Amino acid sequence: MPIIKDHKTDGLPFSDSPKLKARNVNVFYGEKQAIYDVSLDIGANEVIALIGPSGCGKSTFLRCLNRMNDTIEICRVDGQILLDDDDIYGSKVDVVPLRARVGMVFQKPNPFPKSIFDNVAYGPRIHGLVEHRDELHEIVENSLKRAGLWNEVKDRLHAPGTGLSGGQQQRLCIARTIAVDPEVILMDEPCSALDPIATAKIEELIDELRENYTIAIVTHSMQQAARVSQRTAYFHMGQLIEVNPTDLVFTTPQHSLTEAYITGRFG
């Protein structure tokens, strides 16, 4: 049972220029419901932060947005998710190109056991985005530059990606994600394993990426949400309680549950 019956999300869950639209999304793991009737737009070129106590469904909701939940056998997603008005759960949708359009960066950096170059080249290769080796080199170089990693790795592109530091590995994973030119990037606590310097680099990068991409980021750090996002969505026990401009959420939250969370009464 939802904790608040017939809850309607407070604030501004919808956008004037939506890139992704979630409508009446319910998610179940077997019999257990993890997301209750969530409707939310993610606007073009915005960074939206998803926050809330552990277990409230942030990762589950994020994974709905590129059908990552398909990989969990007991997981069932109801409702509608539209990417540029196309239903991503449509019967004809192939998840491989979908996940290139809606890329994902995980909590723990997960470079492939391949060279730095091959990690970034992987996507363009499997999606057949390149015909010539020169072109591939250019994509790899550009992606590493945009991820702020090029200068640190340009002399060792053929060294294993797993040999980099944690923060470098996370930027490598971001380079790998942007190498296929996605439209949306989903990030699930991308900095939780990083030190403050590496975190600052990723946050700077997020701000730059917003020019070209739409970004949804899950974070447990309210400071991070405040630094990188324009809107913040507060989840509580599977319900989307409130969505508002980030500065409002952290100064004058509209819902008492949001207030309780941001003032540290739970979570």
Positions touching ligand ATP (CB under 6 A) are 29, 34, 52, 54-60, 72
φ, ψ for residue 102, nearest 5 deg: -120, 90
Stretch that binds Mg ion, among 21-29, 35-43, 51-59, 88-96 (CB under 5 A): 51-59
Q: Do residues 213 and 46 make contact, with C-beta atoms less than 8 angstroms apart?
A: no
Closest distance to ligand ATP from the beta carbon of 258 (Å)? 15
Residues 140-199 that bind Mg ion (CB under 5 A): none
60 binds Mg ion (CB under 5 A): no
Task: State the binding partner of 60 from Mg ion, ligand ATP, none, CB within 5 to 8 A by kind.
Answer: ligand ATP
Indicate the burial class of 210 (C-beta count within 10 angstroms; 0-12, 13-18, 19 or more).
Answer: middle
Minimum distance from residue 19 beta carbon to Mg ion (Å)? 22
Give least dist CB 237 to ligand ATP, A. 9
Interaction partner, residue 171 (ligand ATP, Mg ion, none; CB < 5-8 Å by kind): none
Per partner kind, with CB cut-offs from 5 to 8 A, the member of ligand ATP, Mg ion, none near residue 151 is none
With contact defined as beta carbons under 8 Å apart, do 219 and 247 qualify? no
Distance CA 2, CA 21 (A): 22
Q: Number of residues interacting with Mg ion: please give it, by CB under 5 A.
A: 1
* The entry of Mg ion, ligand ATP, none that residue 116 binds, CB within 5 to 8 Å by partner kind: none
Out of 9, 15, 59, 177, name the contact with Mg ion by CB under 5 A.
Answer: 59
Closest-CA residue to 193 (of 158, 168, 160, 162): 168
Instruction: Give CA–CA dist 113/49, Å, rounded.
Output: 31
Question: In whole angstroms, how far apart are CA 135 and each of 62, 123, 140?
Answer: 32, 13, 9
| Contact set with Mg ion (CB under 5 A) | 59
